[in-house]
Chains A and B, each alone.
Chain A
Amino acid sequence: MPRATRETNVYRRDARANHKLLTPAEREKLIQPYLPSPPSRSPTRETKEGFRDRPIRKSRLGLRNFFKAQLHALLYAIIHTIFSIYIRIRVAYHAVKDRVFAVLYYHHRTPELIQKDVKGLKRKPEHLSVVLKLEDEARGGAGLEALVDEAAEVAAWCACAGIPMLSIYEPTGILKGYVPATHRAISRKLSSYFGPQHPALTLRAPHVPSMESPSTPTSDSPEISQKQLSVLLLSAEDGRDSLVDLTKTLTEMSQRSKLSPSDISVDLVDAELSESVMGEPNLLILFGPNVELSGYPPWQLRLTEIFHVQDNQGVGYQVFLRALYNYANAQMRFGR
């Protein structure tokens, strides 16, 4: 978009000659008409001189500024009115689209259907991560129940789609307090999908005594027992706090001369964090309406593909599936 075509051309010629064409003064002259008025930092610079002609000048400027401000405020109101109309339409459009997707792609709790949905994908994430939110902390029980159910659903989809590793991030960490109950809920969900012979499940959380799945069903059928799903529960304390904890440990070691600060490298930190928290997920799915990480572990997020559906609310199978399609760079069509 040409803002000042002549000046841009002069600038580009100068730039191509490695800025040897113009002198600094000439360059300043070039941009002079486009400079805004400098920010007023010291309004009380001149106090006594120019006292006489100042009031007039000030009032005229003040009036002009007043009108300008009014114009800006009006325009601001107009922009936001238009925008709020636009966003309502957008939300409605997305809601309809999501509904259509949800109807067209429904799993019917059938692993075969999910497998068919993901069959054509060129690549699948080895490690999938999702962010879940605890709704309505005030009502406690209901929110927690919904959260556990969502976690179990996502785990079941992963097991069907053949994703071996799932990490569930939930900021408050309430799930970590109910590891056995969550384990039971996921197992139940898996058996409702797969029947009695469902894939083995491991549920663990960092810093919590690892819950080796005692209730792993002893399925003798080899093709199913190959399938393994490990679920990791994360919370806000595995984010920045884990880096802080690592720093504390390193500091202690350094104070006792067991380590020199120059030994601290990216590899060391990475090894420690993937040991104690987790490695890098390949794909992160956000079920919220926009991209906000709300305290997700920062270190592990380096190259993770972040997926969200604009204006989406809530955990849905179609979001999960769209994320996988997006990850595989595949087009999703209406209809299977």
Chain B
Amino acid sequence: MSMSVRNFFLSSPPVEWAVNQLRELLIGALRQGPIPQHVAFVMDGNRRFARTHKMETVEGHNLGFEALARILEVCYKSGVRTVTVYAFSIENFNRSKYEVDALMEMAKVKLQQLSQHGELLDRYGASVRVLGSRTMLKPDVLAAIDKAVEMTQNNGDAVLNICFPYTSRDEITTAIKKTVEDYSTPLHSQARPFSQTRITQKIRSRNLSTSPLASSPLRASSPAPSSISDLDESVSSSTTLHPDSPPTDSRSHNNAIYQDPETITSETLDQHMFTAGNPPLDLLVRTSGVNRLSDFMLWQCHENTKMVFLDCLWPDFDLWQFLPVLVEWQWQQKYLEDKSVGKVGASKSAKALKVR
């Protein structure tokens, strides 16, 4: 009874207007301070919400989607650049077929719907990316994903990463695999239209009067570092004189030059993650009171990411739950700033001045 009275009160036009004004005001106020550039959400609790409210699981997921839309609005309006959401884990394929199918259908329909509003998306500069293992998806869902991603790929103001069949371990493994593949392709392609022997022959036939040094630029065909090209020059000058040069040539052909594995750093792996190019993860929020990452953003949030575990269920999540999190984050940023300023003496502040 009291609930329905409350709902009636809240949905009356003047109250609704006032609440919306207040929201706008609060978001505008938040914008005055530092804002996390990249926020990730684990949208946990849809099923429990459905169970406690005695509705179907799918209905819970629908309400979860509405919560997502609300929170995205808050994020982008307050200045967050990238939002990453954990929509579907690879582990979730173990759930009932009925639920998996319903979730897939939901994703497909929502993405198709998104694609119908291309003009709107362009105007707000939002781009959608789907992170995860594509091979596990059905073709119709993939088509919907590709369309939505393609339509929005040139919008750079705000990014929404939807982790669709995703686990972080899969992401890390994929990044390692891609890096290994990158480093296992020889640096120069062997199929160039120019034959080195032909060039050598031509040089030999045409001139013996010019000095061997002049011919060396022609021989130095590989884009190798300078130390190697020095060596190449000395070799080439000898090969132009002696006919038994082919052995050295064939050696360099078989042993293709690779990039040095020692140059792999964590940045290299970073660039091969699904989130490559996104700002570092500042804030990770998980709802429904579970204090685990559950295979989400392991690589990304291991450094300075602030993680927040909230007790509320995802469909209940809104500005009113998110606001304290954001304010505390801002407060901590300021606190950290003050501390670093206070701690470091004149030397560092002089350095900071120089930077400025």
- Residues of A whose CB lies within 8 Å of any CB of B are 1-5, 8, 11-12, 15, 18-19, 24, 27-28, 34-36, 38-39, 41, 68, 71-73, 75-76, 79-80, 83-84, 87, 239-241, 243-244, 246-252, 254-255, 261-262, 264-266, 269-270, 290-299, 301-307, 326
Contact = CB atoms under 8 A, between A and B. Distances in A.
A240 B19 CA distance: 45
Contacts of B66: 8, 11
Interface in B264-307: 264-266, 268-269, 291-295, 298-299, 301-307
A254 B291 contact: no
A95 B198 CA distance: 82
Given A39-B124, A293-B302, A299-B298, A1 B320 contact: yes
Contact of A76 (B33, B295, B301): B33
Given A2-B10, A247-B269, A291-B309, A72 B179 contact: no
A268 B227 CA distance: 38
B196 interface: no
Interface of B: 7, 10-11, 16, 19-20, 23, 25-26, 28-33, 62, 66, 70, 77, 109, 112-113, 116-117, 120, 123-125, 157, 168-170, 172-173, 176-177, 179-181, 183-184, 258, 261-262, 264-266, 268-269, 291-295, 298-299, 301-309, 318, 320, 327-328, 330-332, 334
Best-surrounded residue of A243, A250, A252, A298 (most CB of chain B within 10 A): A298
7 nearest A-B pairs in the assembled complex, by CB-CB distance: A75-B29, A5-B11, A76-B32, A24-B116, A291-B307, A298-B298, A251-B261
Contacts, number: 193
Central interface residue in A4, A240, A265, A295, by most chain B CB within 10 Å: A240
Contacts of A41: 125, 157
Nearest to A326: B291
A298 to B, nearest CB: 4
B33 A290 contact: no
B176 A2 contact: no
A256 B145 CA distance: 38
A210 B258 CA distance: 35
Contacts of B262: 248
7 contacts: A2-B16, A72-B25, A76-B30, A80-B330, A243-B269, A291-B309, A306-B309
A30 to B, nearest CB: 11
Given A18-B109, A301-B302, A3 B20 contact: yes
Contacts of B28: 68, 71-72, 75
Contacts of B168: 298, 302
B298 A301 contact: yes
B212 to A, nearest CB: 34
A266 B330 contact: no
A219 B83 CA distance: 57
